Structure formats: structure tokens, C-alpha cells
Chain A
Amino acid sequence: METIIYISLAFLLSFCIMAVMSRSILKSAIYLAAASAALGVVMFLLGAKWASVFEVSVCSGLVTVIFISAISLSNMKIEDVHKLYDDKKRMAYLPYVLLFGGFTMITFVLTKDINLTVVAQSTMEDFQNIFWNTRMADILGQITAILIGGIAVIVLLKEGAK
């Protein structure tokens, strides 16, 4: 199981880097969807089955559809896009930043002797019970956030149509 988690983490980080460094915004959206799928695999293997289902269906599916819908409205020529945003030049330093950050983090972990261990085995908590009873306020907050998001999109698109 650990091998699959290692591979998924490698894919997750690679897809995130590719999403940022890609010059095509459509490819970036697809790489982001692939990163969500890799994160879903990691969550599933750690025992968070419900969260992994939400991650794959919502983040990998719905968010990608939203991105592609927004991209499809743009009809700029690809040369003009590259000239305007200049992403190739602006994103070129990301590998160096990540190498520096990774090296710093590994040095910090090794020198401070940080040894993360699982302090308690995962209990057989009833997720439905926690979600519906203990975290009831969260559900109300989610419903409110979704309503606000829907209203905001209607208002923004109405203003954009003028």
C-alpha cells in the first residue's frame, strides 16, 4: 500500500508543477484534474473514503468543467496569449524555487530530528453520525456558501452581459 501512496504523491506533485508551468491554460486545467485524482487515491489509501469520492467527483470533475467553460469563452489567438502573459519566462524559476524549498525542508526535518508517527489507530467512527449530528453547523455553512456562490455567479454574468 505504501508504494502506491509514494507513487500517487509523486504524481500529485508532478501534475501540480505541470499545471503551473504549462503554457496552455487548457492543459493546466487537465493537469489540475489529474492532480485531484492523484490526491483522491492518496485519501482513499489513508482511509478517507468519503472525502476521496468528493475529491474525485467534485474537484476533478466539476471544477474542470468550470475551467473549460471559462476557457471556451476566450477566443484570443495563442500567439497573443503567449505574448500577453509571457508564462514561459515568468514560470521558469519554479523548479529552482522548489529545489530550494525541498532542500530546506529536508534539511529542517533531518536536523531537528522530526519523527512523525501515528499516535492513535483510526477508530471506527461513524462518519455519517459525525457529519449529520456533530458538524451540523458545517452543513448549514456549506448550504449558505453554495447559495452565495450561485447568486454571485448570476450577478457577475448579468453584469458581464451588459
Chain B
Amino acid sequence: MTIETIMLIVGFLMILTGCYCLIRSYHMLKIIIGIEISMKAGTMFLIFAGYMNGHMGLAQAYVITAIVLEVVVAVVLAGVTIGLYHKYGNMDIRNLTQLKG
């Protein structure tokens, strides 16, 4: 088994870990961590694709865009989490179902 195949398997397992966290956790920050883990696997696949095709410069440009978007998503969701905490006193995602309008 080559290193490329192992990277593919590790990326797949990382996406699985992130999705499991998204499905099973009720803590809002834990859910953000799940999203971050899945996005990390995505950035790893982009670099992997650039390495395989020999276009590492283009892959790096895409990865930097992905990293910026990852940070923006984390910041906005952290803001939502803080708003949730101020309103309900905890960071439980189930409280979001009580929102109306």
C-alpha cells in the first residue's frame, strides 16, 4: 500500500470522525470542531490532488481560500454559540429548536 492510498484512507476516516461528531454531539462548540475536522480532510485532499497532478501552486491557492473560509465559518458559529449561551445559559444545540421567527 502506497503513501497516497494511506492518505486517502486517513482523509476518509477524518471525514467520518467529523460527521460522527456532527450527528452525535449536542454541544455547539463540539459541532464546530466536527466541521473543522471535516474541512481539514478537505484541505488535505486538495493538497493531495495537487501533489498527484503536479500543480501544487494552484492547489495551494485553493487551500488558502479554504482556510480563510474555515476561519470565517468558525468565527460566525462561535458568535452564534455566544448568543445561544447568553439567551439560554448553555451551549446546547437543542435550544435552537425553540427559536421562533
The answer to the question of B100 belonging to the interface, with a C-beta cut-off of 8 Å to chain A, is no
Across the two chains, which residue of chain B brings its CB closest to A35? Answer: B40
Contact B61 A134, beta carbon cutoff 8 Å: yes
Known: A39-B40, A123-B55. Contact between A153 and B3, CB under 8 A?
Answer: no
CB within 8 Å of B: which of A105-139?
A: 105-106, 109, 114-123, 125-127, 129-131, 134-135, 138
The interface centre, meaning the residue of A19, A51, A122, A146 with most chain B CB atoms within 10 A of its CB, is A51
> B101: CB under 8 A from chain A?
no
> How would you classify the secondary structure of chain A's contact residues: helix, strand, loop or mixed?
helix
* With A9-B10, A51-B63 as contacts: A25 and B29 at CB distance below 8 Å: yes
What range describes how many residues of B lie at the interface?
35 or more
Which of B30, B53, B65 sits near A142, CB closer than 8 Å?
A: B65
Given the interface pairs A54-B63, A122-B54, the reply to whether A98 lies near B76 with Cβ below 8 Å is no
Name 18 extra pairs, CB < 8 A, besides A20-B18, A43-B63, A66-B74: A9-B7, A51-B47, A63-B74, A84-B90, A91-B20, A94-B17, A109-B1, A115-B2, A123-B54, A134-B58, A135-B61, A141-B65, A142-B69, A146-B68, A149-B72, A153-B76, A156-B82, A157-B82
Interchain residue pairs with CB less than 8 A apart (10): A9-B6, A35-B37, A42-B47, A66-B78, A67-B33, A85-B30, A105-B8, A131-B57, A157-B79, A157-B82
Contacts from B to A (Cβ < 8 Å): 1-10, 12-14, 16-18, 20-21, 24-27, 29-30, 32-34, 36-37, 40, 43-44, 47-48, 50-65, 67-72, 74-76, 78-83, 85-87, 89-92
